[in-house]
Structure 1
Amino acid sequence: MNDETPVMTSHRPYLLRALYEWIADNEMTPHLLVDATRSGVQVPLHAVSEGRIVLNVAQQAVSGLEMTNELIRFSARFGGVSQSISVPTHAVVAIYARETGQGMVLPEETGEDAAAGESSHATPDGAATGRPALSAVPSDASSAHHSHEDDPEPDGDGTDPSGPRRGGHLRVVK
């Protein structure tokens, strides 16, 4: 008999697919909060703010959505230009419904999960760091909007730069 605990695959992609389906089944708009500093993330750099990007992944906002165990891939329009998006599942920080803020902040991967994904982070200048720092999302929707003229509008083009509309709905449960 073997005393070692069996190694399981990461539960992140399963949670992402389940929560995506739950949000869509409730006729809400699923959004992903992505750590754009992680390796393998391919998103338009002009849409990244403070190392993060919010992606609208609603069926009507994207085309060709694929959610595998390793990667989320789709095409979306940013400022009227179609872009191919590729996000490793280990780079997704949270998934939530835009309208209510309900969803889940995904737990950090540990042990085998982190080794399979990525165990270190890089800053925009390429320097390695420890775990990324999370910042609070403004609870006032007006202060959450950017004032950049080139920022895409949240009307089905693949992004919503404001993040959740109401703060305080996502809680880390241990």
Structure 2
Amino acid sequence: MSNDAIPQQPYFLRALYEWCVDSGYTPYITVKVEGGAKVPAAYVKDGQIVLNIGPAAVRNLQMDNDWLSFSARFGGVAQVIEVPVANVLAIYARETGDGMAFSQQATKPGALEAVADEEEPPPSAPEGGPARPKGKPSLRVVK
């Protein structure tokens, strides 16, 4: 067996995305903007951006072991987003905050959310269901 371990992050990313969508939640990712990341610069704050990658907000979402890419509209303008998977700091459900952080900086205060123009509003939580979190997402750090 080789000493080069296959990174777990892209597998966790795809699994948590699928869990969010199957559960009716909106998957958000926090991204470190460097190393070839192509994102709308107007929404970057402190070198990070939070992106809604839910099916209502993006088109042609591709997640392989190295890159995450999709197209979305920001302020009415279509853009192609490309992010190295290694730059994804966290993925979480907007409605509950449940998810996973891949680095300590994933929940840096003041990160600006860049929400693509959605075609339809996200599903609301059922009555008595989970409320949208007020603070940071409840994420677990994976090393």
CA RMSD of aligned residues (A): 2.8
Residue of structure 1 equivalent to 2:109: 137
Residue of structure 2 equivalent to 1:117: none
Kindly state the Cα deviation for residue 152 of structure 1 after the two structures are TM-superposed. Answer: 6.0
Residue type matched to 1:156 in 2? E
Higher strand share: 2
Return the TM-score normalized by structure 2: 0.78
Residue of structure 2 equivalent to 1:9: 6
Gaps of 5+ in 1: 109-132, 139-143, 158-163
Give the greater-gyration-radius structure (CA): 1
Given that 1:28 and 1:98 are in contact with CA atoms closer than 8 Å, whether structure 2 keeps it comes out as yes
Secondary structure of 1:17's partner? Answer: helix
- 1:24 paired to 2:21: yes
Q: What percentage of aligned pairs have identical amino acids?
A: 45
Kindly state the Cα deviation for residue 165 of structure 1 after the two structures are TM-superposed. Answer: 4.4
In 1, Cα distance between equivalents of 2:72 and 2:84:
16
Residue of structure 1 equivalent to 2:138: 169
Residue type matched to 2:12 in 1? L
Given that 1:100 and 1:166 are in contact with CA atoms closer than 8 Å, whether structure 2 keeps it comes out as no
Residue type matched to 1:17 in 2? R
Return the TM-score normalized by structure 1: 0.65
Gaps of 5+ in 2: 120-132
Sort the Cα spacing of 1:25 and 1:62 in 2 relative to 1 into closer, same or farther, 3 A: same
Sort the Cα spacing of 1:172 and 1:156 in 2 relative to 1 into closer, same or farther, 3 A: same
